[in-house]
Amino acid sequence: MREVSDTVRELKTLNETNSRPEPETHECDIFAAHIARQLKQLNAASCILAQQDIQGVVTQYRMRDLLNEEVVTSVVSHHTPPHNHITSHPVHFQHNLNTQIRIL
């Protein structure tokens, strides 16, 4: 009798597990895994330098997004035309291994 109840319990657990939707894998997670595999093929020093460069690029884009959000928020709160505020503070990006953000 105990075996039957154990089997029923296992079947219920299995059914619950199969009923749960699969977590969605975002394309960024797949890309990150791909980059991780490539980084693992580098020697330690190259791996560290590559990580630094990659992080620098990601940081640049995050800063650009934040600056764009601030511009939009500022434009909306001051009720000024977007082109006046945006053109007065352009953000320029250089895309190379030593990327930098320059705000004019």
- Domain around 63: 26-103
Could you give the 3-state DSSP secondary structure of residue 91? strand
The answer to whether position 97 is within a domain reads yes
Q: Which of 43, 26, 47, 23 is nearest to 35 (CA)?
A: 47
Of all residues in the chain, the percent with pLDDT exceeding 70 is 72
The answer to whether position 96 is within a domain reads yes
In this structure, the chain runs to a length of 104
Token pair listed for 81? 């035309």
The answer to whether position 2 is within a domain reads no
Per-residue pLDDT tens digits for 38-82: 999 999 999 999 999 999 999 999 999 999 888 777 777 765 554
The answer to whether position 36 is within a domain reads yes
The answer to whether position 89 is within a domain reads yes
- The alpha carbon of residue 35 and the mean position of all alpha carbons in its chain are separated, in whole angstroms, by 13
Name the average pLDDT for the chain.
78
**H or E element at residue 7:** helix 2-19
pTM of the model: 0.50
The answer to whether position 1 is within a domain reads no
| Count of domains for the chain | 1
